[in-house]
């Protein structure tokens, strides 16, 4: 990851909705109303150079980090040098992100969309969609596994970064641990992909050096998370839930260290494969 790239500007003059709100409910066997906090979500429409690309349901926190991380983690741009400007607007549960990107990245995006829209019949559009779901990504150079001490008590150590989750539940967390084994930052979101996008975006916007560090996700580890970490150039991913088989295959093929941290047993290294 290139930490010397400029940080894109972001306009946050509008009022973000609250990340949590209190809602009344009735216990099943009682009439008296009680109240509990619930995590909020909003619809965020993302457009690149005026071209609508996606509508994502996200937690209304760290949205600049999310948009930057989504752009890089989804392969829309290669890095921050292709991101020129970011403006957030909207109100209530309908928000908008207008992103200005380089001509090179925009033409690639439009070409990708033309390929998907231009195919029809005989299952060709399915073939194109598979190519987008299983893209050709560069393998990482490989890195040493983290010391076992870095993972000791990790579930308890990440709790301070899960304020929203502890308050009302229903959200995932993603974090980054630096090359000294220190938990540097964390992000939360209703979507597991969104939480990781926010962490990647935060690392890029803050110019954090990722060499020797690792990403941590509290959710199920599927292929999409592997792809996002590979594109971000992070060499180790620790998941608190088990990875899928396909995620493991991709981690091995691309030299990504993949570690599952079960709740009641020792860490399991799925990639790289150790020689017998």
Q: Based on the number of CB atoms within 10 Å of its own CB, is 49 exposed (0-12), middle (13-18) or buried (19 or more)?
A: middle
**What is residue 161's three-state secondary structure?**
helix
Rounded to the nearest 10 degrees, the angle between the axes of helix 223-232 and helix 192-206 is: 0
Q: Which two tokens stand for residue 176?
A: 């980054």
CB 189 within 8 A of CB 58: yes
Look up residue 255 and give its two tokens: 């030299």
Tell me whether residue 122 is one of the annotated catalytic residues.
yes
- Of 272, 268, 197, 200, give the one whose Cα is nearest residue 238: 268
Torsion over CA: 193, 198, 201, 203 (sign): negative
Query: Could you tell me the two tokens for 254?
Result: 């691309």
Residue that has been written with the tokens 């957030």 in this structure: 88
Say if CB 248 and CB 271 are below 8 A apart: yes
Give the span between the Cα atoms of 132 and 112, in whole angstroms: 9
**Helix 63-73 × helix 192-206 angle, to 10°:** 100
Beta-carbon contacts of 263 under 8 Å, excluding residues fewer than 6 positions away, are: 155, 240
Which letter does DSSP use for residue 142 in this model? -
Catalytic option among 8, 122, 168, 221: 122
Decide: 78 and 72 in contact? Cβ < 8 Å: yes
Query: Which residues are designated catalytic?
Result: 122
């Amino acid at each position: 990851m290139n930490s010397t790239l400029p940080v894109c500007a972001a306009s946050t003059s509008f009022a973000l909705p609250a990340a949590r709100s209190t809602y009344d409910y009735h216990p099943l066997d009682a009439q008296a109303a009680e109240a509990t906090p619930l995590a909020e979500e909003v619809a965020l429409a993302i457009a690149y150079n005026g071209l609508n690309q996606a509508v994502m349901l996200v937690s209304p926190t760290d949205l600049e980090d999310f948009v930057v991380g989504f752009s890089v983690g989804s392969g829309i741009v290669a890095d921050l040098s292709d991101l020129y400007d970011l403006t957030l607007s909207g109100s209530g549960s309908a928000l908008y992100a207008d992103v200005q990107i380089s001509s090179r990245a925009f033409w690639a995006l439009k070409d990708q969309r033309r390929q998907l829209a231009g195919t029809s019949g005989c299952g060709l559009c399915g073939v194109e969609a598979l190519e987008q779901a299983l893209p050709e990504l560069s393998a990482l150079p490989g890195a040493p596994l983290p010391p076992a001490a870095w993972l000791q008590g990790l579930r308890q150590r990440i709790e301070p970064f899960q304020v929203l989750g502890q308050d009302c539940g229903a959200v995932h967390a993603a974090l980054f641990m630096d090359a000294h084994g220190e938990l540097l930052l964390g992000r939360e979101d209703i979507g597991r992909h969104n939480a990781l996008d926010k962490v990647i975006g935060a690392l890029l916007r803050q110019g954090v050096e990722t060499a020797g560090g690792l990403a941590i996700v509290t959710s199920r580890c599927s292929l999409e998370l592997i792809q996002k970490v590979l594109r971000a150039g992070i060499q180790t991913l620790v998941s608190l839930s088990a990875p899928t088989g396909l995620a493991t295959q991709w981690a091995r093929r691309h030299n990504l260290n993949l570690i599952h941290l079960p709740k009641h047993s020792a860490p399991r290294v799925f990639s790289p494969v150790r020689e017998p």
